[in-house]
Amino acid sequence: MTDDAAAPENYPAHARRLQVRQVTFQAEGINSYELVDPDGNELPPFTAGAHIDFYFRDGSVRQYSLCNDPAERHRYLIAVLREPNSRGGSEGLHDRVHVQRTVNVGEVRNNFPLNPDAERHLLLAGGIGVTPMMAMMAELRANGGDYTMHYCTKSPRHTAFRHELADLVEEGRVVLHHDGGDPRQGLDIAGLLAEHEPGTHLYFCGPPGFMRAIQNAAKDWPEGTVHFEFFSAAASPKSTLTAEEMAAAGEGSVGIGFQVQIASTGAIYFVANHKSIAEVLTENGIEVETSCNSGLCGTCKTRYLTGDVDHQDLIMSPAEQGEYLTLCCSRSKSELLVLDL
């Protein structure tokens, strides 16, 4: 799967080979994987909230948040929830990635950074959504930032990094909420977010129902203070959303096809319903970099000049969407989109 050069053609040229130094049982169904350079070299730096692309032997790519302290240069730590209904990534990883195996990863990217102007940071983690928060708390501790994390899980058994977090729980920096599988018994999200305290920024990551509840509760928070990341890890969020959630996320509004124009050359291509802009451009010899193909990672983010974009991504703010689209999943409400390419 991720192993070695057995299928190198499935890995992009920039892929980096790392070795699994340690696999740790973190909680029910959750392992963490410590990845290091096989020759002991330092790894490229990252900031809290970043993820890496993980290349699988079948050509698929998953994104996993880095959860170790960003000050560390000798390793990347990811944690993965085994999800039987995922597209194979998390199960394959749990089954076949062992200590000393070599894996292939891409560049570090960050679509979920801490806001340096925030006076305090409110972190809400649902289940495996705790992974980016672990790095965020490390960075905030190092910078003297003010933060609180509410961490929602089913039970202590399902709580990754429980022992690591014990001191922070003691200090009141981390508050654990166990709902026994019934969200109504867990954190009162609406109550917590009812009032926005000036200077507070909100960050959240977790399963779809958790994300939806927080988005609703924080809908009146000032623009720019709410930051989130859908699972970009073990499973594509779209594979776990209900039809209703898909509609809320923008899935399904595909339209009847449209045209894209390349500003630099004037060339126009038709994008049929069943194709993405990225696919059409690639077919026509235009190099396009993609990774998640789900509007999650920002790899294919591209500026557009004119047109009425039907954004389908899950990462950009309304302000960014006024300038950029994602080639992997944006559609068009107008007949033509002009791309700044």
Q: Which of 328, 337, 339, 341 binds ligand FES (CB under 6 A)?
A: 328
What minimum distance in Å lies between the beta carbon of 111 and ligand FES?
9
b (16+ CB within 10 A) / e for 130-147: bbbbbbbbbbbeeeebeb
- Continuous segment of H or E residues that includes residue 135: helix 130-143
Q: How far apart are CB 328 and ligand FES at their closest, in Å?
A: 3
Q: 318-330: buried (b, 16+ CB within 10 Å) or exposed (e) per residue?
A: eeebeebbbbbbb
Nearer to ligand FES, 67 or 296 (CB): 296
CB of 250 to ligand FES, least distance (A): 13
Q: Least distance to ligand FES from the beta carbon of 53, Å?
A: 9
- Counting residues that bind ligand FES (by CB under 6 A) gives 13
- Kindly tell me which of 49 and 186 has the beta carbon lying closer to ligand FES: 49
Quick one: 65 or 293, whose CB is closer to ligand FES? 293
Beta carbon nearer to ligand FES, 131 or 299: 299
If one counts every other C-beta atom within 10 angstroms of the C-beta of residue 1, the result is 18
Report, in Å, the least distance between residue 95 CB and ligand FES. Answer: 26
Q: For ligand FES, which is the closer residue by CB, 193 or 329?
A: 329
Instruction: Say whether residue 312 binds ligand FES (CB under 6 A).
Output: no
Q: Supply the minimum distance, in Å, between the C-beta of residue 66 and ligand FES.
A: 17
Question: Count of alpha carbons within 13 Å of 181, Cβ hemisphere only?
Answer: 1
User: Is 229 or 313 the residue whose CB approaches ligand FES more closely?
Assistant: 313
Options 326, 331, 332, 337; binder of ligand FES; rule CB under 6 A: 326
Closest residue to ligand FES, based on beta-carbon distance: 328
| DSSP assignment of 175-227 | EEEE-TT-GGGS--HHHHTSSPPTTEEEEEE--HHHHHHHHHHTTTSPTTSEE
Q: Which residues pair with 270 in a beta bridge?
A: 259
Give the separation between CA 107 and CA 319, rounded to whole angstroms: 26
Site for ligand FES in 273-302 (CB under 6 A): 290-293, 295-300
Pick the closer one to ligand FES by CB: 79 or 328: 328
Structure tokens at 106: 């891409």
Query: SS3 helix, strand, coil % of the chain, rounded to 5?
Result: 25, 30, 50
When the beta carbons of 124 and 337 are compared against ligand FES, the nearer one is 337
User: Based on CB atoms, which residue is closest to ligand FES, 161 or 258?
Assistant: 258
The interface with ligand FES within residues 59-88 (CB under 6 A) comprises: none
Q: Residue 112 is which amino acid?
A: F
In the chain, the amino acid numbered 92 is: G
Site track 246-265 with ligand FES (rule: CB under 6 A), x = hit: --------------------
Place of tokens 């500026």: 303
CB 234 within 8 A of CB 80: yes
CB of 290 to ligand FES, least distance (A): 4
- For residue 256, the minimal CB distance to ligand FES (Å) is 22
* Amino acid residing at 65: S
Least distance CB 209 / ligand FES (angstroms): 23
Q: 228 is written with which tokens? A: 């989130």
Considering only residues 118-147, where is the footprint of ligand FES by CB under 6 A?
A: none
For residues 283 and 176, what is the distance between their CA atoms, to the nearest angstrom? 49
Six-digit token string for 222: 């000032």
Which residue ranges make up the site for ligand FES (CB under 6 A)?
Answer: 290-293, 295-300, 313, 326, 328
